[in-house]
Structures are given as C-alpha cells and as structure tokens.
Amino acid sequence: MLLVTLLVCAVLLLLSLLHIYWALGGRWAMSAVLPEEGGARAFTPSPAMTLGVAGLLLAAAVVVLLRGALADHVRDTMLWGVVTLGTWVLAGVFGMRAVGEFRRVGFFKRVRGTRFATWDTWLYSPLCAALSTACAFIAKGSA
C-alpha cells in the first residue's frame, strides 16, 4: 500500500505544481487542458480559480498521505475518520471525473475531435480512473 500511496501523492503533487505554473501565467500544454466546443474553449478559469484547484490537489495529496503512509501516526486520533472519509471522497470525485458530465469531459463525452477530447480520452480520464481506484484501495486499506 505504501508504494501506491506514494505514487498517488506524487501524481497529485505534480498536478498541483502544474496548476500553480498555469496560475502564474505559464502556457505549456494550455492548448490541450481545457474542454473546447465549436473551436473555442468552453471556459477560461481565472488565476485564482486555478490556484484553488492547485490547493485542492495539494490537500488531496496530504489526505492520501495521512491515510496510506502515515496511518500509524493518525489512527488513534480524531483525524483518522476524517482522512478515511476524505480518501473515499477522493475516490468518488476522481471516479466521477473519469465518467464525466456526458458532454465535453470524461469517457462518455459527446464532443470529440478536439485536442482536449483526444487527451481526455487517452490520458486525463484514464488517469482519473486510476486515481479513483488507487484512492479506494488506500481508503479500504488496513482498518
């Protein structure tokens, strides 16, 4: 379980850093990370919104780390229930992101043929499905 935990934490930390980079004005990979429709971005997040996502990803990494790698340190505290529930919530959130909203995002999206849709099909949605599965594995872990 430790290996899975550390891998999930590393992915979440990398994603958090990437969002910080974008929030600070970075442009690398920007042409493929936002859903498109009709040749235009479906939305353009503000730097504050992007930093918010970075913060949530960082918080997710901390929750997973506490549940999966530091369990012995928090098991007998009030934090244990919170991190266990939090890890289950993360499994659900990543699972829902993988499935998508049935229009522009997820495995069952209808809008196809865009750069984002291609990356979503081959990387973003499978990554979310893997993160969902890994978070469920970590949450179930040893009681």
Tell me the pLDDT tens digit for each residue of 64-116. Answer: 999 998 777 777 777 888 999 999 999 999 999 999 998 889 999 988 888 89
CB within 8 Å of 8: residues ≥ 6 apart:
61, 64, 68, 131, 134, 135, 138
Mean pLDDT of 10-18: 97
Instruction: Judge whether residue 143 has pLDDT over 60.
Output: no
The reported pTM is: 0.90
| Measured CA angle at 55 (ends 101, 66), to 5 deg | 100
d(CA 142, CA 5): 13
Q: What's the pLDDT at 30?
A: 81
Q: Which tops the pLDDT comparison, 72 or 9?
A: 9
How much is the pLDDT for 128?
97
Predicted pLDDT of residue 142: 60
Mean predicted lDDT score pLDDT of the chain: 91
The predicted model gives 32-53 an average pLDDT of 87
Query: By percentage, how much of the chain surpasses pLDDT 70?
Result: 99
Report d(CA 121, CA 113) in Å as an integer.
Answer: 11
Angle at 98 (CA atoms; ends 109, 19), nearest 5 degrees: 105
Radius of gyration of the chain (CA): 16
Residue 47 has pLDDT above 90, yes or no: yes
Of 13-17, 22-26, 36-40, 114-118, minimum mean pLDDT range: 36-40
- Model pLDDT, residue 95: 97
